[in-house]
Structure 1
Amino acid sequence: MHDTKTPEWTDRTRLSEFMSVDELSELGTGDIAYIKQIKARDLKEMFPDVPPLHDNMTLYALLNADGTPILLADSREAAIANAFEADLEMASLH
Structure 2
Amino acid sequence: MNTKFDLKTIAQDIVYVKPVAVADLPDDMQAQAGPLEILFAVHNAQGEQLALVANRRLAFHLARENDMRPVTVH
TM tier, smaller: 0.5 to 0.7
1:33 equivalent in alignment to 2:15 = yes
Larger radius of gyration: 1
Aligned length: 68
Q: Unmatched 5+ residue regions in structure 2?
A: none
- What is the Cα deviation at residue 90 of structure 1? 2.1
Paired residue for 2:67? 87
Structure number with the higher strand fraction is 2
1:59 equivalent in alignment to 2:39 = yes
Q: Structure 1 residues 55-64 or 69-78, which shifts more? A: 55-64
Q: Unmatched 5+ residue regions in structure 1?
A: 1-5, 8-18
Paired residue for 2:29? 50
Over the matched positions of the two proteins, sequence identity in percent amounts to 28
- C-alpha deviations, 1:44-94, integer Å up to 9, x for none? 3xxxx7352469711111111111111111110000000001111223445
Instruction: In structure 1, give the amino acid aligned to 2:15.
Output: A
**TM-score under structure 2 length normalisation:** 0.66
Instruction: In structure 1, give the amino acid aligned to 2:39.
Output: L
Which of structures 1 and 2 has the larger relative contact order (alpha carbons within 8 angstroms, sep 6+)? 2
**TM-score under structure 1 length normalisation:** 0.54
1:71 equivalent in alignment to 2:51 = yes
Mapped to 2, the partners of 1:64 and 1:73 lie a distance apart of: 15
Structure 1: 4+ residue segments shifted above 4 A = 53-56
